[in-house]
Amino acid sequence: DVVMTQSPLSLPVTLGQPASISCNSSQSLLYSDGNTYLNWFQQRPGQSPRRLIYKVSNRDSGVPDRFSGSGSGTDFTLKISRVEAEDVGVYFCMQATHWPPFTFGQGTKLEI
Amino acid sequence: QVQLVESGGGLVKPGGSLRLSCVGSGFTFRDSYMNWIRQAPGKGLEWLSYISSGSGSFTYYAESVKGRFTVSRDNAKNSLYLQMNSLTAEDTAVYYCARDGSLTSWGQGTLVTVSS
């Protein structure tokens, strides 16, 4: 199974400042069709997860443009350009290239 | 808009069984493959099972639930199911259904507690 490793696991941030979360996979997530199936999810307190980013860098509808995803191969990053209060929660990366199983990172708790 | 609503959770004794349901709306359910994912209290996300679109001919399971859990679907009812048998305390979690291979949309979850 592909192991997804996130860092940091806890991320204290200041409102208006940038934040960055790293996600590394135990093997390349580049699929034979040329796509890289790496997604990012946000889980606000008391809510279910919500997909933010798919295929490394594509924002879902309604996701603010302060969120961006980048990376390739085994190294990926989620960046928030200016953190807002509503961004508090846990962020997970997930790979859908080598499945089953789909595998998630441990989660990064972003707190103000 | 897309909506997924899980139900069927509750308190069950170790060794017991439970059947979860997930009703989808706002999209063509029969054309979507579906997944179950769970989250133990205070923990991360664990993918459990997948069922293909249409007749649901293809199913996959995590090793942790293989042989104990069975996923199925009824397209006429826009419904996804998870039959869970031989439950243990380690199965205590919030169970979510999610749409397609990128987990595009999630339900609100249903809590399963396994305790004597």
Q: Of A49, A96, A105, which is closest to B106 when you measure between CB atoms? A: A49
Q: What is the pLDDT of residue A90?
A: 97
What values do phi and psi take at A14, rounded to 5? -110, 140
Residue % of chain A over a pLDDT of 90: 98
Chain B residues in contact with A103 by the CB 8 A cut-off are 47
Q: What distance in Å separates the CA atoms of residue B30 and residue B6, rounded to the nearest whole number?
A: 17
Confidence band of B101 (pLDDT split at 50, 70, 90) = confident
Q: Judge: A107–B45 Cβ closer than 8 Å, yes or no.
A: yes
Chain A residues in contact with B101 by the CB 8 A cut-off are 37, 96, 99, 102
Residue B9, min C-alpha distance to chain A (Å): 16
A38-93 confidence digits (pLDDT tens): 999 999 999 999 999 999 999 999 999 999 999 999 999 999 999 999 999 999 99
Q: Is B36 exposed, middle or buried (0-12, 13-18, 19+ CB in 10 A)?
A: buried
Chain A residues in contact with B105 by the CB 8 A cut-off are 51
Give the residue-averaged pLDDT of B89-114.
95
Q: What is the pLDDT of residue A95?
A: 97
Is A5 in the B-facing interface, judged by CB distances under 8 Å? no
Give the residue-averaged pLDDT of B10-17.
97
Q: Of A51, A55, A107, which is closest to B103 when you measure between CB atoms? A: A51
What residues contact residue A6 under an 8 Å CB cut-off, 6+ apart?
A: A21, A22, A23, A24, A91, A92, A93, A105, A106, A107, A108
User: Please, are residues B72 and B37 in contact by the beta-carbon 8 Å criterion?
Assistant: no
Query: Measuring CA to CA, which residue among A69, A62, A9 is closest to residue A38?
Result: A69
Distances in whole angstroms, Cα of residue A7 to Cα of each of A29, A59, B45, B47, B53 = 18, 21, 16, 21, 35
Model confidence at B102: pLDDT above 90? no
Is A89 in the B-facing interface, judged by CB distances under 8 Å? no
Q: What is the pLDDT of residue A68?
A: 97
B60-70 confidence digits (pLDDT tens): 999 999 999 99
Chain B residues in contact with A96 by the CB 8 A cut-off are 101-103
Q: What distance in Å separates the CA atoms of residue B111 and residue A16, rounded to the nearest whole number?
A: 36
